Amino acid sequence: MSKGIVFDEYGNVWAVDTGEARVPGARLIALTGYWCPVCHLPRTPYPGDHGMHPTCAEAASRTGGQQ
């Protein structure tokens, strides 16, 4: 199973963190209350992550915050 964000045939967004469990993206936002300000997808909060996915933070720093 791939890790990351998965779109199924019904247009649902699934966040896959472990490769073992799939959680609907909207449900993950409802559970955690957090989403990435760059890509607007749900995220799991970690201390010191500045509120962004690591890959989004890299992209934002390269483009001056625009993605």
Q: What is the pLDDT of residues 5-64, one digit of tens each?
A: 767 677 677 666 554 556 666 666 666 667 788 887 777 766 667 778 888 888 878 876
Question: What pLDDT, on a 0 to 100 scale, did the predictor assign at position 3?
Answer: 57
Q: Which candidate, 39, 58, 56, places its Cα nearest to that of 25?
A: 39
Looking at residue 25, its amino acid is: G
Domain boundaries, the chain: 4-63
Question: What pLDDT, on a 0 to 100 scale, did the predictor assign at position 60?
Answer: 79
Question: What pLDDT, on a 0 to 100 scale, did the predictor assign at position 2?
Answer: 47
Question: What pLDDT, on a 0 to 100 scale, did the predictor assign at position 1?
Answer: 43
Given a cut of 60, is residue 66 above it in pLDDT? no
Question: What pLDDT, on a 0 to 100 scale, did the predictor assign at position 16?
Answer: 63
Angstrom CA distances, 41 to 2, 35, stand at: 17, 5
